Amino acid sequence: MKLYSFFRSSTSHRVRIALNLKGLNYQTHFISLAKNEHHQAEYQALHPQGFLPTLEIDESKLLIQSPAILEWLEQQYPQPALLPNDVLAQAKVRAIAALIACDIHPLNNKRVLEHLRLNLGLNEIQINEWCAKWIHAGFSALEKILEQDSQRTKFCYGSAPTLADVYLIPQVVSAQRFKVDLNIYPKINEIYQHCMTLEAFQKAAPENQADAI
């Protein structure tokens, strides 16, 4: 398998974590968002939106969109499982993932920030404030969800990593980049600190990628 990735892409980060947790071997092909390589025709022939990541299974099979890639990995390589067995528990894990993927991440990704910067004339302080606003909105809700789960241990759900953690950790890294104070979210911070003791999360971290700048 070949993963088209950028070190600071949260969506690529999710897939790297999942691949590592499942112990799968893959090659990484780096597409620089900073250099706008995702706009080049060669890459857009693989992914018409020009987004990251793309997972190439073989020369004729490509997967795009991180939620679809992660679900495919879970079905194709079910062990270790990143979803609980119980269907209600699965829904809870997917809800946390969706909170991050749908309600936080899209509002602070590259194309939105470029629009704020280039078309609306916001400066970097204002852009950071924009990002922090929506991260706080999502993290405040997630912190309450985590507090309500009496059976949770050091992960988002249960006693092992799930798709919820796969989504959360890259968003925490993004929050750090935008100078969000995580001390006001003790449950989220605890999960992040614990996950980062695990090799699969460490290897997937942006600073440990060969294209990190």
Going residue by residue through the chain (213 aa), what tens digit of pLDDT does each one get? Answer: 999 999 999 999 999 999 999 999 999 999 999 999 999 999 999 999 999 999 999 877 999 999 999 999 999 999 999 999 999 999 999 999 999 999 999 999 989 999 999 999 999 999 999 999 999 999 999 999 999 998 888 999 999 999 999 999 999 999 999 999 999 999 999 999 999 999 999 999 999 999 997
Q: Which residue has the tokens 């879970």?
A: 74
Residue 210 within any structural domain of the chain: no
* Containing structural domain, residue 160: 87-201
Dist. CA 85–CA 81, nearest whole Å: 9
Residue type at 179 in one-letter notation = K
Q: Residue 211's CB: how many other CB atoms inside 10 A?
A: 15
Write out the H or E segment, with its range, that includes residue 4.
Answer: strand 2-5
Burial 47-72 (b: 16+ CB within 10 A, else e): beebbbbbbbeeeeeebbbbbebbbe
| Domain's final residue, options 37, 61, 79 | 79
Instruction: Clarify whether residues 148 and 179 are in a common domain.
Output: yes
| Domain's final residue, options 25, 51, 79 | 79
Instruction: Clarify whether residues 51 and 70 are in a common domain.
Output: yes
Instruction: Clarify whether residues 153 and 95 are in a common domain.
Output: yes
Q: Residue 163's CB: how many other CB atoms inside 10 A?
A: 28
Instruction: Clarify whether residues 57 and 106 are in a common domain.
Output: no
CATH of the domain at 25: 3.40.30.10
With beta carbons less than 8 A apart as the criterion, state whether 30 and 210 touch: yes
Residue 213 within any structural domain of the chain: no
Dist. CA 49–CA 109, nearest whole Å: 14
* Per-residue confidence (pLDDT) for residue 48, from 0 to 100: 94
The full length of the chain comes to 213
CATH of the domain at 167: 1.20.1050.10
Question: Which is nearest to 192 in space by CA: 208, 172, 178?
Answer: 172
Q: CB under 8 Å to 146, separation ≥6 — which residues?
A: 152, 156, 187, 188, 191
* Per-residue confidence (pLDDT) for residue 17, from 0 to 100: 98
Instruction: Clarify whether residues 70 and 101 are in a common domain.
Output: no
* Per-residue confidence (pLDDT) for residue 60, from 0 to 100: 79
Dist. CA 117–CA 12, nearest whole Å: 23
Strand order in the sheet with 61-64: 27-30, 2-5, 54-58, 61-64
Residue 127 within any structural domain of the chain: yes
Instruction: Clarify whether residues 152 and 52 are in a common domain.
Output: no
* Per-residue confidence (pLDDT) for residue 82, from 0 to 100: 98
Structure tokens at 158: 């249960």
